[in-house]
Amino acid sequence: MKNSDGIPHRRLVLYTDDPVLALGAANVLSSMPQLEVLTSEPGLSRLCPFVEQVQPDVILLDTSPEMTLGFLSTLRRTAPDARLILWGRSF
C-alpha cells in the first residue's frame, strides 16, 4: 500500500509493557511517513486479538519472560504475513 505521496505504507504494531518505552518508540517511529504505528494495550493476552483485528505488516515486540515460543507461534498464526521483530532489554 502507498500513502498519498507515493511512499510505501506499512502498518506497524508496537508492543512493550513499559509505558515510557512505548511512548518514546511510538514518537520516533511515527515521524516516519511510511509507517502507521499502532500500539496495543499492555498485556500479552490482549496482543493477539489486537493483531488479528488490525493485520499489521510488521510487529515490533519488546521481549519479556512471559513471551514463550508457544506465544510467538500463536502470534505468527494470527498474522502469518507480518514480519516479527524482537528486541530485548537488559534489566
User: What does the pLDDT look like over 7-64, one tens digit per residue?
Assistant: 668 999 999 888 888 888 888 988 998 999 998 777 888 899 999 999 999 999 988 8
> Residues with Cβ < 8 Å from 34, sequence gap 6 or more?
3, 7, 8, 9, 10
Q: Read off the C-alpha cell for 63.
A: 521481549
pLDDT digits (tens, 9 = 90+) for 41-57: 778 888 999 999 999 99
Q: What is the pLDDT of residue 5?
A: 63
Residue 3's pLDDT band (boundaries 50, 70, 90)?
Answer: low
